[in-house]
Structure 1
Amino acid sequence: MKASNILLLPGWQNSGPDHWQSRWEAAHGYQRVEQHDWMRPLRGDWSARLEETVADAEGPVVLAAHSLGCILTAWWAAHTRHAAKVRGALLVAPGDVERPDLAAQIHGWAPIARQPLPFPAVLVGSRNDPYCSFERAEGLAQAWGARCVDYGEHGHINAESGLGDWDEGHGWLMQLATPV
């Protein structure tokens, strides 16, 4: 699989230079799906951008989503005509946009799509994620038909979690990218 067919889906406010997504982009040449407005995310705009990117890809793609990117993946998967192009998705630390405090900051993303994903997925959740309880992450994994990984206490599994290049997460991504 070409590196450009690994699509990075950052969450709200994008992923900074020390985030594992940015490190993977720099080290491996993966493609970040650039959104029009990282600070005021609109679900329709973000979904349309992902739809264009997947449609334009030559061959199968693998999604590596973080936070709001996970919620985007579920919403997009429920509406796309291109789900068959997705070999798998790594869903890391989904943001619970149905929580009142997050819903107030990120408008228009609730309710979270809960249909089974039409492709294999691994959801990695943390027991002390400030944006989504582990129990909620487990429930989303179950609804989406994703394998749930209990990643212990690693916060929001982002740059502040001190993961560096996050080789373990990259290993899960490579498992999803490898044809069975």
Structure 2
Amino acid sequence: MKVSEADILILPGLGNSGRGHWQRRWAERLSSGQFIEQKNWDKPKLEEWVATIERHVMMSTRPVVLVAHSLSVLAVAHAAARMADTKVRGAFLVAAPDPELNSKVARTARAFSPVPRDPLPFPSMLVSSSTDRFCSLERAVDFATCWGSDFHDAGDAGHIDEESGHGPWPEGLLMFTRLMQRLRA
């Protein structure tokens, strides 16, 4: 599937993505990219985040591909069962946090526990780092296995955000392109 054939819904994590974050840059660069705003970035409520994702999927007029970072990865996993048989064709998931076993995850993000373990009803790729302070690589592999996601180890890349030096993140864009090539319209 070509990017121009889909609505690319870009879903930031806790606290939103700053101006230099790769998600903001992709939203500006991808002609069909839509940056999705949540009601409250700092005190997230699982049901509100899930409802926002569902609403944007339903309002889309074309096939949808989700691009989620951090806490939004868990929101997508929670919303997935409700998005079976919808326009969602795939999901590019980056730096899932582990609110169950990682004490560094913000207390406000713990409401996204337990992490869903059911397979996602659409193709997906989970990209994680061996040095992410919010999730061990082993847990990320476990999430990917449960969700049926392709897994990519990004190596020493921190939380794959602006703080870890991932502004434009061209390697991520290449991985996203590979996922898009697998999807059908």
TM-score surpassing 0.5? yes
The residue identity in structure 2 corresponding to 1:31 is Q
Q: 1:83 to 1:92 in 2, by over 3 A?
A: farther
Matched-pair contact (CA < 8 Å) for 2:5–2:63? no
The structural deviation recorded for 1:84 is 3.5
Matched-pair contact (CA < 8 Å) for 2:73–2:94? yes
The structural deviation recorded for 1:175 is 2.7
State the partner residue of 2:91: 89
The structural deviation recorded for 1:100 is 5.7
Structure 1 residue 159 corresponds to structure 2 residue 179: no
State the partner residue of 1:79: 82
Matched-pair contact (CA < 8 Å) for 1:129–1:156? yes
The structural deviation recorded for 1:107 is 3.9
The structural deviation recorded for 1:112 is 0.7
Distance 2:158 2:28 in 1: 23
| Two-structure CA RMSD over aligned residues (Å) | 1.8
State the partner residue of 2:34: 31
The residue identity in structure 1 corresponding to 2:160 is I
State the partner residue of 1:42: 45
State the partner residue of 1:62: 65
Unaligned runs of 5+ in 1: none
The structural deviation recorded for 1:119 is 0.7
The residue identity in structure 2 corresponding to 1:94 is A
The structural deviation recorded for 1:174 is 2.3
State the partner residue of 1:9: 11
State the partner residue of 2:130: 127
Q: Which residue of 171, 174, 183 corresponds with 1:168?
A: 171
Is the deviation greater in 70-79 or in 95-104?
95-104
Q: 1:146 to 1:94 in 2, by over 3 A?
A: same
The structural deviation recorded for 1:168 is 1.7
TM-score by length of 1: 0.92
The structural deviation recorded for 1:145 is 0.3
The residue identity in structure 2 corresponding to 1:158 is D
Unaligned runs of 5+ in 2: none
Matched-pair contact (CA < 8 Å) for 1:4–1:31? no
The structural deviation recorded for 1:170 is 1.2
Matched-pair contact (CA < 8 Å) for 1:78–1:113? no
Q: 1:85 to 1:4 in 2, by over 3 A?
A: closer
2:9 match: secondary structure? strand
Identity of aligned residues (%): 42
State the partner residue of 1:106: 109
Matched-pair contact (CA < 8 Å) for 1:127–1:152? yes
Q: 1:103 to 1:15 in 2, by over 3 A?
A: closer
Q: 1:161 to 1:103 in 2, by over 3 A?
A: closer
1:77 match: secondary structure? helix
TM-score by length of 2: 0.90
Report Cα offsets for 1:14-52 as digits up to 9, x if no partner: 011111001111222411111000000000001111100
Structure 1 residue 117 corresponds to structure 2 residue 106: no
